[in-house]
Structure 1
Amino acid sequence: MVNAFSFACTACGKCCNSPPAMSLPELFRHRDRFIGCLAIGRVPRRRIGERVRVGRHEAVLDEADIAAFESIADTLLHRAGDTFSIMTQGYDYPSLARCPALADDGRCAIHLNGKPVTCEVVPLDPLVPDTLQHLVLAGRNQSASYLGADCIQEGERADAALMTAEGEIKDANARNALARRRRALEKEREVWGRAVFESLRKDLFDSPAALARIPPGGFLTISIVPALLAVASTSARCRQLCLDYIDSQLALIDRSIKQALLRRRLDDRPVTQELRGFAHAYQRAQTLLGTPLPAMEVESGTPSSLSPIEAYLSGADR
């Protein structure tokens, strides 16, 4: 079979070496476990005839490939000359080299209790067209994160699910997870992404000097507060949900910094500084959101009475 890769997760935890990308509702659900941030990445524009090579696997992008990339960009990403992703993301000390959801036995503590959709998508990439996911698997099969895990194997295997072959995603669970993650990203873009993009346009996206802070193939992490302010402005209930989230995050950041100080690692210092910046941003937002607007009163109600954004934030629209 052409470009066939199989995948069998052994729950070894090797790829769970950092907090995952998560939707805002997922961060709200796990507010006491994951520190939230915004991750801003620069997504390369693809061209017809461009060669994409991973090891011995290669694709020459044709018109259909470019159309697929453009469709993803139009629905999930943001354009300002270049193309950018803006996602909510878990944040932690890289020196820990583990996801905060990993239990002491190396297993996921939230596998059956709200595991992020991103984790179900692994090892695929929602920002890559389905026809090219075999290149994603080829790359990850060679990456250090998966080294020794033996979960991604080339070809069809009896003891693993056939993930990709002949330009298609063959595994139904993988197709479903990809579709759900893409829907979540589209929803994020609609609910708060556009507003955050516009709020950052002048100081970041229209500034070559500021954009230089985004490393090639990497991300710029900033406070999640711009996303919170965008959703908090829609109703009193959303405002209160954001305030509750901020309270939990301030406590979690405080615990994380105290633990880092006990570790006494020099490479933790820049992260501690950034976390303190997150805390200051939260405190400023707390002051801003803690002043109620005259026309806003927190209403009680059942999930059926929630507005679409309230339902989204609370997870009632899942």
Structure 2
Amino acid sequence: MTLPELFRHRDLFVGCLAIGRVPSKRTGERLRAGRYESVLDETDAAAFASLADTLLHGRGDTFSIVTQGYDYPSLARCPALEDDGRCGIHLKGKPVTCEVVPLDPLVPDKLQHLVLAGRNQSALYLGNDCIQEGPHADATLLVADGRIEDATARHALARRRSALEQEKAMWGRAVFESLRKDLFESPAALARIPAGGFLTISIVPALLAVAGASVRCRERCLDYIDSQLALIERRIAQALLRRRLDDRPVTQELRGFANAFQRARTLLATPLASRSEDRAFAASVEAYLSSADAN
């Protein structure tokens, strides 16, 4: 989910930052997914490098820094799901990251068939039974011959990549720099990022990156913090009633998020010096934070 999407659904999703390693790809490298294999040529490696340069952070070792919703894994369901199993926000600002499923915006279009094959094999990937090989009369062909055939999926993938690029520009670079010394340049800290997974931390660094753009941005961040504190309190109260041992680490992390929100609220209660006196910049950040409201 993007930061504007989390702002829109602030009473539904607890927001956090998710940081993952994305290994660079090299010419001659073999990518495998089940019985499928591709040996990357120069064009493939260049396509990966182009996506990394546009969407990721760092040189050599590259990292993804994204905002996402956070909840108790034991619930095994999205907070937006209704009792009948339908998405409650499908027509009310459904996140682009949901629309792009099951494709991966960090993989070139030519190799999306490997993404699908990997999803199909993964027991952790929800809905993998709907991924079938070959054309079917009752289903839309998604990828074929190194192309994304379905226009809706192609558009969703482009929108997700555009959103990630905008996130990088609006707050991603600032967050990367703020964490460079304590995380990205520390081998001990980097070891906390699980292989093939994400390190989740408070979303506060992203909020601080945009709050200084204008008074309106600061006010929106404060409103978001208040909503998140109330939501975290409700989520923890519900977890305590469930009395599950496997919920305890999540409860501990949510309490850490709440503490970070409280500190940020104290900091933002006093107007921050603007990052720029350029009203055009302030207007662009304000428009960005409001971009999901009309969807």
Same fold (TM over 0.5): yes
Structure-2 separation of matches of 1:208 and 1:195: 21
Counterpart pick for 2:19 among 40, 53, 60: 40
Pair 1:179 & 2:158 matched: yes
- In the TM superposition, 1:112-261 aligns within 5 A as 112-146=91-125, 150-261=129-240
Identity %, equivalent residues: 78
Counterpart contact for 1:233–1:239, Cα < 8 Å: yes
Counterpart contact for 1:80–1:206, Cα < 8 Å: no
3-state SS, counterpart of residue 200 of structure 2: strand
Quote the RMSD (CA, aligned, Å).
Answer: 1.9
Partner amino acid, structure 2, of 1:204: L
2:287 is matched with 311
Q: TM-score normalized by structure 1? A: 0.88
Normalized per residue, the structure richer in helix is: 2
Partner amino acid, structure 2, of 1:117: V
Structure-1 separation of matches of 2:127 and 2:202: 35
Counterpart contact for 2:214–2:274, Cα < 8 Å: no
Structure-2 separation of matches of 1:30 and 1:189: 21
Counterpart contact for 1:41–1:84, Cα < 8 Å: yes
- In the TM superposition, 1:7-156 aligns within 5 A as 22-146=1-125, 150-156=129-135
Structure-1 separation of matches of 2:271 and 2:264: 13
Partner amino acid, structure 1, of 2:178: S
Structure 1 residues 79 and 263 mapped into 2: Cα distance closer, same or farther (>3 Å)? Answer: same
Partner amino acid, structure 2, of 1:232: A
Q: TM-score normalized by structure 2? A: 0.94
Structure 1 residues 263 and 185 mapped into 2: Cα distance closer, same or farther (>3 Å)? Answer: same
Q: Deviations over 1:193-234 (max 9, x none)?
A: 000000000000000000000010010000000000000011
Partner amino acid, structure 2, of 1:132: L
3-state SS, counterpart of residue 267 of structure 2: helix
Q: CA deviation at 1:145?
A: 4.0
3-state SS, counterpart of residue 128 of structure 1: coil
Q: How many residues align?
A: 290
Q: CA deviation at 1:291?
A: 1.1
3-state SS, counterpart of residue 37 of structure 2: strand
Structure 1 residues 122 and 292 mapped into 2: Cα distance closer, same or farther (>3 Å)? Answer: same
Structure 1 residues 195 and 148 mapped into 2: Cα distance closer, same or farther (>3 Å)? Answer: closer
Structure-2 separation of matches of 1:97 and 1:112: 23
Structure-2 separation of matches of 1:226 and 1:130: 32
Structure-2 separation of matches of 1:149 and 1:207: 37
3-state SS, counterpart of residue 307 of structure 1: helix
Partner amino acid, structure 1, of 2:11: D
3-state SS, counterpart of residue 54 of structure 2: helix
Partner amino acid, structure 1, of 2:197: G
Counterpart contact for 1:141–1:147, Cα < 8 Å: no
Structure-2 separation of matches of 1:100 and 1:254: 15
Structure 1 residues 146 and 42 mapped into 2: Cα distance closer, same or farther (>3 Å)? Answer: closer
